[in-house]
Structure 1
Amino acid sequence: MKIAVIGAKGLPPKQGGIEHYCAEVYPRIVEQGHSVDLYARSSYTDCSWQDRYDYQGVQVISLPGLPLKGVDAFATSAIGAIAASATKYDIIHFHALGPSLFTCLPRLVNTAKIVVTCQGLDWQRAKWGSFSTRVIQLGEKAAVRFAHELMVVSDALQTYFWQTYGRKTVYIPNAPASYGESDPNFGYGTQLGLEQGRYMLFLGRLVPEKRPDLLVDAFSALNPPGWKLVLAGGVSDTKSFTSELLEKVANNPNIIFAGELRGQRLWEIVRGAGLFVLPSDVEGLPLAMLEAMQEGIPVVASDIPPHKQLISGARGKLFEAGNLNSCISTLDWAIHHPQELRVMAVNAQRHIQLNYSWDHITSETLKLYTKLLNSPQPVHISEQRQTGLAEVVGKK
């Protein structure tokens, strides 16, 4: 199979769930004898327009964009869709709803099968203005209308597309990255003034919808003796929010901003944490949480559906999303119940090992591609919706 990938910033991954997803799945697909072209942003790859390079067998092709907030992604995706439409591909795979606005181009002029993966409802993210939000919502509608198959990474997303559009989707989750060896002496953590098992960790982009501000407020109010809070993550078009957040923590010596961590430093800080906390209002299926669970770190998270999917059933503790008092009381409980947390962490680790594997995800993705290539054209979406709604009515 010859496969085109549109919507990822580029490879190797620096930050962002989509880039890490592509870095895990597409090299595995190449290993099985297929070819993959990934259309990337030159602003991310630092390469000239149309430069091509190899990443573990994946051909990464740099495309121009526009150096404006929100516009770069759409411009590169449009050019990628045009380039892919002019090339003979078997599969053209769009990642995220914004880039999916351009699924109509190859669908109309190319025989390739169109696949869209939705990692989350991006129009809910606070970094987008009203115009960008509307464009992303149009991308969602285009994905529903033009994609031969729509993949989702969580049960909540599958429910959303069915209830909103009557559109059946294919559920294939994310999986955690495999960590390498880290410093057993905890050298970098010691430099930061940390003690193993005695700090909470927030790991993710410092953006409003992930609510690091709520966690900072909860930790400051709780002020647990002997504990620290580490904020680790990069900035994504939200510099003003980040500046306000850093001003808020500047005078608290127990809150440490570690910046964006990678490689051994990241692995060391995750493994040394006493508690991983993700207070997000919006998520798809968070890779950072999957990785913490895989490493056996106890998890506390907001009670949004993707988090419930991962840690319900005695695999972690949930608090009411956006509720400061609920966050404070849950963190307080976690600090004072280490035995119960250890049991939850073991349950979570076992759950991830059994249910979330990149080899399995790659296999399921290839099965989907093969099924598409061997199947006739799908039912038109309007007919699919009517059929789906009829099925629902028939069940009542």
Structure 2
Amino acid sequence: MSLDLFSGVERAVEEISVRLAARGHEVSVVCRGRYNLGGENLYRGVRLKNLPAIYTKHLEAISHTALGAVEAMRGYDIVHFHATGPCLFSFLPRCSGRGVVATVHGLDWQREKWKGFAKMVLKAGAWASGRFPHRTIVVSRVLRQYYADAYGRPTTYIPNGIAPVVKKPLDRLGRFGVRPDHYILFLSRLVPEKGCHLLIRAFQKVQTDMKLLMVGGGSYTANYVESLRKMAASDPRIIFAGALYGDDKAEAFSNARFMVLPSTLEGMPIVLLEAMNYECPVLCSNIPANLDVVEAGGGQSSYAQTFECGSENDLVQQLKSMVESDFSLKETAARARQYVAREYSWDRVTDLTEEVYFSVRNALNV
């Protein structure tokens, strides 16, 4: 079983928790039983606690988190909440004397799938994430500035990380009719803020026999996914592969001509780190969260091509340029791989997270 099912949050929880367990800490992760398909209660030294949830778009996360927060009120030194919504309940373990830490992976209330009351609840969760925990971690410098400006709250910047990987030759992905270095990769959730629709429209204006491999599933966005399929129906070059994991995902990164992330909203996009880690060239929108990953030294060095967020014309031009490029792409990708190996490491992320835990525990013991 892998906890890496849907997003960067699950990946971060998995990578940090197994490392903490390996260091001798007793670590428990509260899971939604539906997704722990093997029914396991131990994963690489981490105890998995399955709790129920009301499995609907608006109630799944909040119902599960409420139960998890009650569970966390006893028997733990540190309780770590991930994402803003769950932080609504972070006052419960704090009131029971637990040390409370929160990690903000993004401003969920800004996501297009949330409307009305749900958006209000997520806004309240963002506020709570800056008020209830003893320490708040943010995964990007953009978020750190936001919390300082919006809530006057100092936060600790700890980015997500990557682990060493081995590139995979194309094998299993042959079932989609793609060839090495002859397809463009999109790999993320099929939700509006990822810009999937913009990419499809732009790609349809590029004269090439390369494929566009759309990898990912929806997240309570069935109507949006259906609209993407209808948009792409007349272009046989566009392939919807669904979600890919393990070796399939490694093959996708290893053999793509380049990957595109045309998102309008991100917290800290792990997928960019993953692509760069596989030496896969990257084209991404120029939103601050993406630039925070692909640029170094305040923009003095860039490890990806960028385009103006939301601009179909600019995306078309950049796609054409990268389809026609070869050596320059590979040269930049090689430098990018060295950069992420040097600057982003799950071991370092775990070190910094552990320091936050100790600081909270020590403050409570004074």
TM-score scaled by length of structure 1: 0.87
Of 171-180 and 94-103, deviating more is 171-180
What amino acid sits opposite 1:342 in the alignment? K
Question: Which residue in 1 is equivalent to 2:91?
Answer: 104
Match status 1:88 vs 2:72: no
Give the whole-Å Cα distance in 2 for the aligned partners of 1:264 and 1:141: 39
Of residues 350, 353, 358 in structure 2, which corresponds to 1:362? 350
Q: How does 1:55-74 map to 2 (within 5 A)?
A: 55-74=43-62
Residue in structure 2 matched with residue 387 of structure 1 by the alignment: none
* Cα deviations by residue, 1:2-45 (Å, 9 ceiling, x for unpaired): xxxxxxxx953222111111111101101111111111112322
State whether residues 11 and 19 of structure 1, in contact with CA within 8 Å, keep that contact through their aligned partners in structure 2: no
Question: Which residue pairs with 1:24 in the alignment?
Answer: 15
> What is the match of residue 192 of structure 2?
208
Give the gaps of 5 or more residues in structure 1.
1-9, 379-396
Q: Secondary structure, in 3 states, of the residue corresponding to 1:123?
A: helix
Distance 1:146 1:373 in 2: 16
**Superposed displacement of residue 242, structure 1:** 0.3
Partner of 1:190: 174
**Aligned length in residues:** 361
Among 28, 31, 38, the alignment partner of 2:29 is: 38
Structure-2 separation of matches of 1:345 and 1:140: 35
Letter in 2 for 1:130: G
Determine the structure 1 residue equivalent to 2:298.
Answer: none
Contact persistence 1:234–1:259 (CA under 8 A): yes
Is contact 2:189–2:216 with CA below 8 Å preserved after alignment? yes
Aligned-residue RMSD, C-alpha: 1.8
CA contact (8 A) 1:221 1:328 kept: yes
Q: Determine the structure 2 residue equivalent to 1:371.
A: 359
Look up the SS of the partner of 2:205 in the other structure: helix
Q: Distance in 2 between matches of 1:311 and 1:16?
A: 19
Q: Using the alignment, how far apart are the partners of 1:120 and 1:359 within structure 2?
A: 22
1:20 & 1:214 partners in 2: Cα distance? 27
Q: Is the 8 A contact 1:314 1:347 kept in 2?
A: no
Offset at 1:364?
A: 0.8
Once structures 1 and 2 are overlaid, which stretch shifts more, 289-298 or 124-133? 124-133
Q: Which amino acid aligns with 2:345?
A: S
> What displacement does 1:168 show?
0.7
SS of residue paired to 2:41: strand
The question of whether the paired residues in 1 share the 8 Å contact of 2:161 and 2:345 is answered with: yes
Counterpart among 161, 164, 167 of residue 153 in structure 2: 167
**Residue 179 (structure 1) shift:** 3.8
The AA in structure 2 aligned to 1:170 is: T
Q: Does 2:144 align with 1:126? A: no
SS at match of 1:221: coil
Q: CA deviation at 1:178?
A: 4.3
Match status 1:345 vs 2:329: no
In structure 2, distance between residues paired with 1:249 and 1:305? 29
Paired letter, 2:126: E
Q: Tell me which moved more, 273-282 or 36-45.
A: 36-45
Percent pairwise identity: 36
Question: Which runs of 5 or more structure 2 residues have no equivalent in the other structure?
Answer: 296-300
Secondary structure, counterpart of 2:360 in structure 1: helix
Q: 1:281 to 1:141 in 2, by over 3 A?
A: same
Asked whether 1:303 is paired with 2:286, we answer yes
- CA displacement at 1:235 relative to structure 2: 1.6
